[in-house]
Amino acid sequence: MQEKTLGAEGVIWDLSHLYKGPDDPQIEKDLGEVKARAKEIEETHKGHVKDLTPQGLHDLVRELEALNERFARIAAYAQLDFSTNCTDPQKGAFLQRIREEGAEIQRHLVFFDLEWQKVPEDLASTILKDKTIEHYRHYLAFLRRLAPHTLSEEQEKLLIDLSPVGRSSWITLFEKVMAHLRFGAEERTQEEVLSDLYSPDRNVRKKAHKDFTEGLKQEEHVLTHCFNTVLMEKAIEDRLRHYSSWISSMNLSNELRDDTVQVLVDTVTDHYEIVAKYYKKKSRLLGLDTLFDYDRYAPVPGGSEEVIHWDECKEIVLQAYFEFSDTFGTIGKKFFDEGWIHAPVLPGKTSGAFAHPTVPSCHPYLLVNYTGRIRDVETVAHELGHGIHQYLSREVGYFNSHTPLPLAETASVFGEMLVFKALLKRLKDEEARRALICEKVESIFATIFRQIAMNRFEDAIHTARRTQGELPPDAFGELWIKTQREMFKDSVELTQEYRHWWSYISHFIHAPGYVYAYAFGELLVLALYAMYEDSGGKDFVQKYIKLLSSGGKEDPYTLLSPFGIDLDSPKFWEQGLKKIEEMVDNIAV
């Protein structure tokens, strides 16, 4: 296999930092003790939350946090172990069992959220001002903001009981289907066939495009059913919880106002012409009269076809991080040296890349599918940024470490920018530099414009599912093409085959409404990076590390206030978009 020439074949994470294996007796010990203690807490405290002193409330929340973290360690192990071989029925069964056990535990603990939300406002306000509760103040205040969308205890317990066979189960089916899928006569994996879209040979790209489409069509009936079911489940829950729109629950989870998100979406869609301007240039650079969707990622002339060994990737990424900050470099080095990364492309392994925070008492893990291309180096940088962010935020504890999704993309995108600048310095040839800049522009497009176009697709399918009933594949395809065409305008010819490509994007069912967080993160980073360059570095780095170390202990508006950022201003978002347009304008044809 190709990975044997890359040095990535042996880069396998060491999950023993969590547990020694699925048969580790410590799992059953931890699980049994968590279940027993959850039941004891319910028996002791149910009905009495309103009577707790600030100290009593602090102590109970601290114990709930410890209990949740202990179970989260088991859940993290199950998820990570499954992700490396989604076709293994034993790994899938273990993951499902842990989800079911988790539902049982939450049934015993749900009383706390409900009772805390019902504490009278004047009493709750007094408690939240008490210094004793300071560490958990934001967490407890956020729980109260969920009150209008919380159901009765009986209803909440019913939803918890149903959760193991709800969306999570359909997500697992989706992952299993995609992991089993093989494309073309060579029966290649998703990662392998999609990598051909970056080939300089148009025939190779066309073949990959056809193979991937045919593979998706084989399972389209299953994938469509997964999508329809998840969309309807969300519609039902949104109705029960009185959310005003399909996106409102995600915005609340992200601690963003609906208006803030709408300003972001509107500002980006108003600048779609930047996308069209670039791809018209790219068409001329490639010497093509018509740029089809399978040509979008074709390398422009002069680009490096270098295959980068894993060790060199490590060197490039760590050097860029060390040059930015010793703190970043030192933490980043741990991931490479201590078995926190899973890198090779393997049959059954989940596609793409991710960083899993696990729990504060352990450390994050990274999964990538490394094929040795420059874009893979940037992916490693991206996920390492996530990992460093997650590592830094461990200090604020399990409940506070969960960063709102829009800010969760900050360190990853910033890390990508650091490594892009480092890669650009390595190149002296002007054509090679232009090719790398084009690749970066396309990466930025994928993070901003494509994600907002996908947000528009999500908006369309959630609305259609709620008003028209179950959607056939053609309906999904038509909405996909419509929202993609609005972004590309007349710069890219979208084929009939491309109508099927909505069905492999896992974000739509893993986390409905999530994708705008990428655009938020990218545009925020463009502003932060400009501040970093203008400041000379030192003061900025200290503020930046403080931001990341804060995790989710405050809302994004508060966390970003030291940087003087106004998230509700279109002018703020336009600053980043103008930087992108300048990059496009400076590409010589």
Distance, CA of 588 to CA of 573 (rounded, Å): 26
User: 3-state DSSP call for residue 429?
Assistant: coil
Identify the helix (H) or strand (E) that includes residue 401.
none
Q: With b meaning 16 or more CB within 10 Å and e meaning fewer, what string describes 554-575?
A: bbbeebbeeeebebeeeebbbe
Relative to beta strand 365-367, strand 341-342 is parallel
Report the pLDDT averaged over residues 117-134: 96
What separation in angstroms does the CA of 264 have from each of 430, 507, 509, 515, 577? 35, 19, 22, 12, 11
- Residue 337, pLDDT score: 97
| Residue given tokens 């060994």 in the structure block | 309
The predicted-structure confidence for 74-85, as pLDDT tens digits, reads as follows: 999 999 999 999
Amino acid at 340: W
Report the pLDDT averaged over residues 183-210: 94
- Residue 167, pLDDT score: 85
| Percentage of the chain exceeding pLDDT 70 | 99
Distance, CA of 363 to CA of 341 (rounded, Å): 11
The CA-based angle 255-133-126, given to 5 degrees, is: 85
Question: Does the pLDDT value for residue 329 go beyond 60?
Answer: yes
How does DSSP assign 320-364, residue by residue?
HHHHH-HHHHHHHHHHHHTT-EE-S--TTPPSS-EEE---TTS--
480 Cα distance to chain centroid: 21
Tokens of 260: 């803030």
Report the pLDDT averaged over residues 13-40: 97
| Percentage of the chain exceeding pLDDT 90 | 89
Question: Does the pLDDT value for residue 2 go beyond 70?
Answer: no
All CATH 1.10.1370.20 domain ranges in the chain, comma separated: 219-304+430-519+554-589
Question: Does the pLDDT value for residue 172 go beyond 50?
Answer: yes
The answer to whether domain 15-168 has CATH 3.30.1490.100 is no
SS (H, E, C) 515-575: CHHHHHHHHHHHHHHHHHHHHCCHHHHHHHHHHHHCCCCCCHHHHHHHHCCCCCCHHHHHH
Amino acid at 251: N
Distance, CA of 74 to CA of 33 (rounded, Å): 12
Question: Does the pLDDT value for residue 539 go beyond 90?
Answer: no
Region of poorest pLDDT, from 160-174, 377-391, 539-553: 160-174
What separation in angstroms does the CA of 218 have from each of 179, 409, 500? 14, 34, 11
CATH number of 310-429+520-553: 3.40.390
- Residue 481, pLDDT score: 98
Q: Taking each helix axis from N to C terminus, what angle separates 167-180 and 89-118, rounded to the nearest 10 degrees? A: 150
Report the pLDDT averaged over residues 181-202: 93
The predicted-structure confidence for 365-393, as pLDDT tens digits, reads as follows: 999 999 998 889 999 999 999 999 999 99
What is the C-alpha end-to-end distance of the chain, expressed in Å? 38
Question: Does the pLDDT value for residue 461 go beyond 70?
Answer: yes
Question: Does the pLDDT value for residue 531 go beyond 80?
Answer: yes
Question: Does the pLDDT value for residue 166 go beyond 90?
Answer: no
Which residues on neighbouring strands pair with residue 188, listed in sequence order? 183
The predicted-structure confidence for 62-74, as pLDDT tens digits, reads as follows: 999 999 999 999 9
Question: Does the pLDDT value for residue 1 go beyond 60?
Answer: no
Give the CATH H-level superfamily of domain 219-304+430-519+554-589. Oligoendopeptidase f, C-terminal domain (1.10.1370.20)
User: 3-state DSSP call for residue 4?
Assistant: helix
All CATH 3.40.390 domain ranges in the chain, comma separated: 310-429+520-553
Using only C-alpha atoms, the chain has a radius of gyration, in whole angstroms, of 24
All CATH 1.20.140.70 domain ranges in the chain, comma separated: 15-168
Question: Does the pLDDT value for residue 201 go beyond 90?
Answer: yes
The predicted-structure confidence for 499-515, as pLDDT tens digits, reads as follows: 999 999 999 999 999 99
Closest to 227 measured CA to CA, from 425, 451, 54, 457: 457
Which residues on neighbouring strands pair with residue 354, listed in sequence order? 367
The predicted-structure confidence for 34-49, as pLDDT tens digits, reads as follows: 999 999 999 999 999 9
Distance, CA of 148 to CA of 144 (rounded, Å): 9
Confidence of residue 535 (pLDDT cuts 50, 70, 90): confident
Confidence of residue 302 (pLDDT cuts 50, 70, 90): confident
Q: Listing from the earlier edge strand, what are the strands of the sheet with 354-356? A: 341-342, 365-367, 354-356
Sequence-ordered list of residues with C-beta below 8 angstroms from that of 540, at least 6 positions apart, any chain: 528, 531, 532
Amino acid at 208: A
Which residues on neighbouring strands pair with residue 38, listed in sequence order? none
Confidence of residue 473 (pLDDT cuts 50, 70, 90): very high
The CA-based angle 31-35-98, given to 5 degrees, is: 50
Identify the helix (H) or strand (E) that includes residue 226.
helix 220-240
Contact 73, 361 (CB under 8 A): yes
Report the pLDDT averaged over residues 215-222: 96
- Residue 4, pLDDT score: 53
Contact 416, 381 (CB under 8 A): yes
The predicted-structure confidence for 413-454, as pLDDT tens digits, reads as follows: 999 999 999 999 888 889 999 999 999 999 999 999 999 999
